[in-house]
Amino acid sequence: MESVQSAAAIDVASVPAAPAAVGGFRGEARYFAYFTRRRPLFIFGLVVVLLSLVAAAVGPYVAPYDPIKATMDILQPPSASHWMGTDASGSDVFSRVLVATRIDLVIALAATAISLLVGTPLGGLAGFWSSSRGGTRWASELLLRLMDIIQSFPVFILALALVAVSGPNARNVIAGIAFVNIPIFLRLTRSAVLTTQHRAFVDAARVSGESDLGIVFRHVLPNSLAPALVNASATVGWSILLTAGLSFVGAGVRPPTPEWGAIIAQGAEQLVSGHWWISFFPGLALATTVFGYAIVGDGLRQFLDPTKRV
């Protein structure tokens, strides 16, 4: 059933200019527009990611109230003047949630970038080395066993322990989250390299006279990065969740710095007395953002896959 449809689709798409056939940045942009138009969920994810970035950039300047200052208007329900109500110290919840976007995002983006930059090259090496003999093979095995050790701990517990040992501040939270995410990127890249290096185009490159380095950087790695890059977006989402989780249990960013997990924790004390809005709105922001980054990651995987292009 599919062959008939796809044959027809190719006929239609390839005769007039197919979007991807146009070279360079403009071609990519045209294909992106074409790709996005038919994926409403992907658009939603993009909007969430974009909003989170804008909020992180300008949040502190546009917040209607001082997010830290205590006032007399404590525990006010959501209203026109306080969209998300106020908390037990009388601070505006909306302002706190908005301002908190920056620290959550900075921590998550930095942690993901570090784990990607460390994990991907190490995964590449582990992949090349695992088919060799002698010392490099041994190094590859050692690397993998180290990853086993890291991954044998629950991610949250390990991050908690690392931050607890090194001290609860933003820099240590970044380091802790980056550390627990390295094995994922290492393994993803390694397994992709293991598959890619046996493809015929790698042999063809060797026959063409490509050097070992050329084979690695022009042929094997570019065709092995997709899993790690796709995972990066989702990892940003999970890192936000982890950051919030650490603050929630008091091991992350210290109050009164506004941070989603910390705000939820503060609100949790008031939940039992019916003041739901203090936890609900930062929780909603957290869930939406994590979801948005996961969707964008999945969409990017499809967008970057050249074989899915018509």
Partner 1 sequence: MANATANEPILRVERLDKHFPIAGSNLTVQAATDVSFTIGRGETLGLVGESGSGKTTVGRCLLRLTDPTAGRIVFAGQDITTLSGHALRRLRPRIQMVFQDPHDSLNPRHRIADIVAEPLRLAGMHDARERAARVGELLEMVQLRGFGDRFPHQLTGGQAQRVAIARAIATKPDLIVLDEPTSALDIAVRADIINLLMRLQREFGASYLFISHDLTAVRHIADRVAIMYLGQLMEIAPAHALFRNQLHPYGKALLSSVLYPDPTATPARFVLEGEIPSPIHVPPACPLHTRCPLARPECATIPIWLEELAPGHATACTRAIAESWTTVPDVEPVAAMVGD
Beta bridge partners of 86: 92
Query: What span, in angstroms and rounded, lies between the C-alpha atoms of 96 and 259?
Result: 8
State the first-to-last Cα distance of the chain, in angstroms, to the nearest integer: 18
CB of residue 211 vs partner 1: minimum separation in angstroms?
Answer: 7
15 touching partner 1, by CB under 8 A: no
309 touching partner 1, by CB under 8 A: yes
Residue 100: name the closest of 296, 266, 286 by CA. 286
14 touching partner 1, by CB under 8 A: yes
167 touching partner 1, by CB under 8 A: no
Residues whose CB falls within 8 Å of the CB of residue 209, separated by 6 or more in sequence, listed in order: none
- Annotate each residue in 215-254 with x if it binds partner 1 (CB under 8 A) or - if it does not, as one string: ---xx--xx-------------------------------
Query: What span, in angstroms and rounded, lies between the C-alpha atoms of 24 and 47?
Result: 25
CB of residue 199 vs partner 1: minimum separation in angstroms?
Answer: 6
Using alpha carbons only, what angle is made at residue 282 by residues 277 and 287, rounded to the nearest 5 degrees?
Answer: 120
Applying CB under 8 A, which of residues 64, 203, 250, 268 lies at the interface with partner 1? Answer: 203
CB of residue 207 vs partner 1: minimum separation in angstroms?
Answer: 5
Per-residue burial over 265-279, b if 16 or more Cβ lie within 10 Å, else e, is bbbeebeeeebebbb
165 touching partner 1, by CB under 8 A: no
- Per DSSP, which regions of 134-289 are E strands? none
CB of residue 134 vs partner 1: minimum separation in angstroms?
Answer: 15
200 touching partner 1, by CB under 8 A: yes
Residues 53 to 82: which contact partner 1 by CB under 8 A? none
Burial class (CB in 10 A: 0-12, 13-18, 19+), 251: buried
Task: Kindly tell me which of 71 and 132 has the beta carbon lying closer to partner 1.
Answer: 132
6 touching partner 1, by CB under 8 A: no
Applying CB under 8 A, which of residues 37, 145, 199, 254 lies at the interface with partner 1? Answer: 199
Residue 264: name the closest of 251, 253, 277 by CA. 277
Residue 92 phi/psi, 5-degree rounding, is -75, 120
Q: Which two three-digit tokens encode residue 64?
A: 């209607």
Contact 155, 242 (CB under 8 A): yes
Task: Kindly tell me which of 70 and 205 has the beta carbon lying closer to partner 1.
Answer: 205
Applying CB under 8 A, which of residues 70, 205, 229, 271 lies at the interface with partner 1? Answer: 205
Task: Kindly tell me which of 27 and 121 has the beta carbon lying closer to partner 1.
Answer: 27
Residue 215: name the closest of 124, 85, 80 by CA. 124
Applying CB under 8 A, which of residues 206, 270, 280, 288 lies at the interface with partner 1? Answer: 206
Q: Which two three-digit tokens encode residue 272?
A: 């039992």
144 touching partner 1, by CB under 8 A: no
51 CB neighbour count, 10 Å cutoff? 15
* Total chain residues near partner 1 (CB under 8 A): 25
- Annotate each residue in 21-40 with x if it binds partner 1 (CB under 8 A) or - if it does not, as one string: x-x-----------------
CB of residue 13 vs partner 1: minimum separation in angstroms?
Answer: 10
138 touching partner 1, by CB under 8 A: no
Give the footprint of partner 1 on this chain (CB under 8 A).
14, 18, 20-21, 23, 199-201, 203-211, 214, 218-219, 222-223, 306-307, 309
